[in-house]
Amino acid sequence: MRFARPSSSRVAFVLLVACTLGGCVMFEQPPAPLACDPALVGRWIPLPDSPQDRVPLGKDDYADVDATCRVRLHDEARTDAPQFTALGFELDGQRYLALGYRELEGLFGTGKAAAPPIPKGMPPGAVTLLKYRIRNDTLQIAMLDTVDIMQRVQQGSLKAREADASTYVFEGRPEQLRALLQSEPALFDAFNGRDKTLRMRRAKDGKR
């Protein structure tokens, strides 16, 4: 178990939509201690053939990640530069990013986009997770399959608390949440699912 951490303006926008419109799946607390992944330091540029192009960001947008995993998003359509610190962990060779309410607020609470409200009854330390990997300087990010998770919870085949009509939270101690991740890899979209996996490429020497 160690660090983990990705960055992407489009990823965060999709997260905001998922947590406000289509329902949100959270974990009561991070499943493991969080730290910065040095593999993510640098500039990341959205790939044009990724499904994140459905999100309103242009071809000149990118994300810079510094040595402390502080992410600065550059969006040509905005005059501000949203920032947040994205940390995570590694479990059985799989890397995860954990975003809490503070990170979402830092990303969206900048005038043009408001931070999503903390759902009533949700633990203040709750996080939502992303799964990621880097292959040949391409960052692939898989999100939680919220629709499938919510259906399974409603059917009783998966246990989570319903915080409100559209928000579910996996509860437990960190070791219990790690066990959940290990036993339920299908909680996340598949990396090979090109219709869902978000992808960005690493810029060379800070250039595009």
Distances (CA, A) of 95 to 22, 35, 46, 153, 167: 25, 11, 20, 25, 24
Residue-wise pLDDT for 23-70, tens only, equals 689 999 999 999 999 999 999 988 876 554 444 445 678 889 999 999
Residue-wise pLDDT for 100-138, tens only, equals 877 766 666 544 445 555 656 778 899 999 999 999 999
**Residue 193: per-residue pLDDT:** 64
Give the model's confidence band at 7: pLDDT under 50 very low, under 70 low, under 90 confident, else very high: very low
Using CA of residue 83, residue 63, residue 86, residue 13, what is the dihedral sign?
Answer: positive
**Residue 200: per-residue pLDDT:** 87
Give the model's confidence band at 84: pLDDT under 50 very low, under 70 low, under 90 confident, else very high: confident
> What are the DSSP calls for 8-28, one per residue?
-HHHHHHHHHHHHTS-EEEES
**Residue 3: per-residue pLDDT:** 42
The answer on pLDDT for 17 being more than 70 is no
The runs of H, that is alpha helices, within the chain are 9-20, 101-108, 146-155, 174-183
> In 3D, which of 21, 29, 55, 34 has the Cα closest to residue 165?
21
Mean pLDDT to the nearest integer, 87-105: 89
| 3-class state of residue 88 by DSSP | strand
Mean pLDDT to the nearest integer, 144-166: 90
Instruction: Show Cβ contacts of residue 192 under 8 Å, excluding neighbours closer than 6 positions.
Output: none
The residue ranking higher by pLDDT, 154 or 115, is 154
Mean pLDDT to the nearest integer, 73-102: 84
**Residue 90: per-residue pLDDT:** 98
The residue ranking higher by pLDDT, 103 or 77, is 103
Q: What is the chain's mean pLDDT, rounded?
A: 79
